[in-house]
Amino acid sequence: MSEKMNWKLKPGVTIAPGQVEDVAKMACALKSLSAYTTFVVEREDCPEDLQQIVQEGLDAMARVFEW
């Protein structure tokens, strides 16, 4: 049975079939980290460098996947 994925590659983006699922899993993990970081930022104790790293990852992910 095929599992339905909640993501797809953006037009023009190519990733080897054996790697696309791993990249998507990392992207989903980053989205989870983003949610956590947002929660921590609201509490004002999130380091600025963590915010920047997460944002750079989200920006990169947005260039590859449509959600």
Domains: count for the chain: 1
Query: Residue 1's pLDDT is what?
Result: 40
Asked if residue 50 belongs to a domain, the reply is yes
Asked if residue 56 belongs to a domain, the reply is yes
Asked if residue 2 belongs to a domain, the reply is no
Please state, in angstroms and as integers, the Cα–Cα distance from residue 38 to each residue in 5, 16, 24, 26, 30, following that order: 24, 32, 21, 18, 12
Asked if residue 8 belongs to a domain, the reply is no
Asked if residue 10 belongs to a domain, the reply is no
Q: Residue 61: CB partners within 8 Å, gap ≥ 6?
A: 27, 30, 31
Give the range of the structural domain holding residue 35, as residue numbers without chain letter: 16-66
Asked if residue 20 belongs to a domain, the reply is yes
Query: Residue 24's pLDDT is what?
Result: 81
Profile the chain (67 residues) by mean pLDDT over runs of 10 residues.
66 85 81 77 70 79 76
Q: Is the dihedral of CA 11, 16, 21, 26 positive or negative?
A: negative
